[in-house]
Amino acid sequence: MADRSNDIPAPADAPSVVHARYHEVQIARREAEISQLRLQLAEAEYKDQLRQQQIGTIQNEKDALQDKNDVLQEESSVLQKENNALQDGNWAIHNEVTALQREIAALRSHKIEDAREMFERLPSI
């Protein structure tokens, strides 16, 4: 509450006008203290409103960033699936190339063997 150490002591044998004036001064001081407290309360409420607005703004920004993050996560997932499909396709192509290379090597080996047999069958000169 209010600090009463600054109160002006009422004179014990003061006339009623002085005594009344003394009480008017005390009432004016209390009203000034109340006005000061109301001002402080209004300032505190204003600051609280600003903080609440800032909190709301930050929360909205956080939500927007979370939405962007969710979209990026989904895009990342799609890209990862596409990458996996491409890798599977690359392996399939690699396996086909390897199989064709083996077939070519077998055909070459077979042709060389056939050529040797034909050469051996030729009459000697």
Domain spans of the chain, in order of start: 12-121
Closest alpha carbon to 22 in 9, 37, 3? 9
Span 6-13, mean pLDDT?
Answer: 57
Span 106-116, mean pLDDT?
Answer: 82
Please give the pLDDT value at position 65: 98
Residue 40 has pLDDT above 70, yes or no: yes
Span 1-8, mean pLDDT?
Answer: 56
Distance CA 77, CA 71 (A): 10
Mean pLDDT of the residues in the chain: 89
